[in-house]
Amino acid sequence: MSHSHVLRIALVFGLVPWIAPTATAGDDVPARSIAGQTLQVPEEQLDLGEVYHVVPGPGTQLAWTHDAPLVRVLAICNRAVGYFVTPFDIEPDKSPVLAGALRIPVASLKTGRQQYDGEFHGPRALNAGEYPEITLRLQETRNAKLTADKDGRRSFTLDAVGELTVRDKTIRVSFPLQVQLVPFTWQTMRVDIGDLLIVRGEISVKTADLGFDTTASNKDFLAETATLDLCLMCSTVSPENNLDPAIKDEHSREQMRFFTLLRDFNDPEKGYKVGRAYMRTIWDDAQALNRLAQATLTEEDIQTRDLAFILRAARRANELTEFKDAALLCTLAHVQSERGDPEAALKWARAAEGLLEGAPQHVAAEVRGALARYEERCKHNQDGPLPSKP
């Protein structure tokens, strides 16, 4: 798509003032937890039955589309958080969904092109700075029909009514839902742990109702309707439930909070502030520091990686272990490589290789693979320009 198309889309989002809200945006949608990866389900809803938490990550798919004659905007998000409540005893003739809510970080809606994203999230469009989330709250479900019941798995179709809040505009939406309840088995564990609920639905909204410019001059660039296509993987196990006995719960929560801000909301200022505070609390814990450095270095969808921050954590982790832990040295080598210092990366990777005796096989393979890459890069460095990053 041409640059002019990008600008045109920006104009579509920007030309029209947003309609005054009919309700305070997202007020009725429960707040996020401190770590930010679940919502605080109200007590009265907890008592209704089973709570299924939306699992952010690859299993969560949510697409915003508006399909105009000359442009199609398709933004994908996999960082939505929320929950659905089902009755404790599911009955064929009763709705399998009693309550639900979603919070979708605007910054995590990705079109695949940074220029588009900038406009889409910017102050003239969804305005992530001021309205960082799109929210959805289920108000009612009806016409539930059991469509399949086999091997403990049950599928339903139903009609849902809810409130969708985009920017400062809240509109009532009606949409069909398909839900499938999948009890835990060793097979489903490959997808996620816990009993699963898969929620699919498609919400169509008039773009005019959301304040987009629908005048004739924009017709080729903005469809009359936009759709929010949901395919949400939900589990009875909260994504904040840390199952690794080696990781303290409070460490897990703080690191999650850091990533919620940095990755989901693309807010490096607040994110690294939380990250630095967290780093201080784990300053004497080599493994926690290494986890922090490693994740900040490799977690997908982080747009601003503060390499000085990562290096500080990785270096301290190695100081604490006196540079004698291969996995930690490998992280240090990785961050040096990302900083553009392949010689330092090579030095630490070689040190790591020297400590591989008795190391788990996957650690050894990782260290040797990294070492080979850094050697290659150093060789190119001596021979001429560096190849692009691995």
Partner 1 sequence: MQRTQVRNRRTRTWPTSSTHAAAIVCLLASCSIVETALAQWPQWGGPRRDFSCQATDLADRWPADGPHKVWSREIGGGHSAIIVDGATLYTMCRRENQDAVLAIDTNTGRTIWETRYDAPTKPDMQLDFGCGPHATPLLAGDRLFTIGAMVQFRCLDKKTGKTLWSHDLIDEMGASHLGRGYGASPIAYKDLVIINIGSRDTGIAAFKQDTGEMAWKSGPFRGGYPSPVLTTINGEDHLIIALAGARAALDPATGEVRWKVTVDRQSAGIMCTPLWIAPDKVFFSAAYGGGSRLFKITAKDGQYTADELWHCRKMKIMHGTAARVGDVVFGSSGDFGPTFLSAVNLETGKILWRKRGFGKANLLYADGKFIILDEKGELALAKADAEGIEVLSQAKVLEQRSWTVPTLVGPRLYLRDYQTIMALDLSEAANRPSAAAAPSPLSSGQEVTR
Give Cβ neighbours of residue 340 (< 8 Å, ≥ 6 apart).
none
- The CA dihedral of 246, 247, 249, 253, to the nearest 10 degrees, is -160
Specify whether the CB–CB gap between 261 and 278 falls below 8 A.
Answer: no
Structure tokens at 4: 């002019």
Q: What's the token pair of residue 341?
A: 């210092």
Report, in Å, the least distance between residue 194 CB and partner 1.
5
Q: Which is nearer to partner 1, 235 or 337 (CB)?
A: 235
CA-based nearest residue to 126, from 299, 272, 266, 220? 266
Q: What does the alpha-carbon distance between residue 177 and residue 201 come to, in Å, rounded to a whole number?
A: 5
Nearest to 121, CA basis, from 46, 10, 206 = 10
Three-state DSSP state, 189: helix
d(Cα 110, Cα 64) in Å, to the nearest integer? 9
The DSSP bridge pattern shows strands 61-67 and 72-77 to be: antiparallel
- Cα–Cα distance, 96 to 123 (Å, whole number): 39
Shortest reach from residue 242's CB to partner 1, in Å: 11
Nearer to partner 1, 195 or 267 (CB): 195
Closer to partner 1 by CB, 48 or 76: give it.
48
Nearer to partner 1 (CB atom), residue 245 or residue 384 = 245
Q: How far apart are CA 332 and CA 338, in angstroms?
A: 10
Pairing of strands 153-166, 169-182: antiparallel
CB of residue 186 to partner 1, shortest distance in Å? 6
Residue 297 in tokens: 């270095």
- Indicate the residue among 192 and 353 with the shorter CB distance to partner 1: 192
Q: Which is nearer to partner 1, 17 or 358 (CB)?
A: 358
Residues of the shown chain interacting with partner 1 in the complex, contacts defined by CB under 8 A:
46-47, 51, 88, 152, 183-186, 193-195, 235-238, 241, 243-246
Comparing CB distances to partner 1, the nearer of 15 and 189 is: 189
Q: Which amino acid is at 87?
A: P
Q: How far is the CB of 46 from partner 1 (least distance, A)?
A: 7
Residues 6+ apart with CB under 8 A from 164: 134, 135, 136, 170, 171, 172, 173, 203, 205, 228
User: What DSSP designation does 138 have?
Assistant: E
User: Least distance in Å: CB of 318 to partner 1?
Assistant: 23
Nearer to partner 1, 194 or 271 (CB): 194
Q: How far is CA 291 from CA 263, 301, 313, in A?
A: 16, 17, 9
Nearer to partner 1, 123 or 360 (CB): 360
Closest CB 198 distance from partner 1, rounded Å: 17
Smallest gap, in angstroms, from Cβ of residue 192 to partner 1? Answer: 10
Smaller CB separation from partner 1, 46 or 158: 46
The least CB distance from residue 146 to partner 1, in Å, is 18
Given phi > 0 = left and psi -120 to 50 = alpha, else beta, which region is 156? beta
Q: What is the largest CA-CA distance in the chain?
A: 73
Residue 127: CB minimum distance to partner 1, A: 36
Q: How far apart are CA 330 and CA 262, in angstroms?
A: 24
Q: Terminus-to-terminus CA distance in the chain, angstroms? A: 28
Report in angstroms how near the CB of residue 54 gets to partner 1 at its nearest: 14
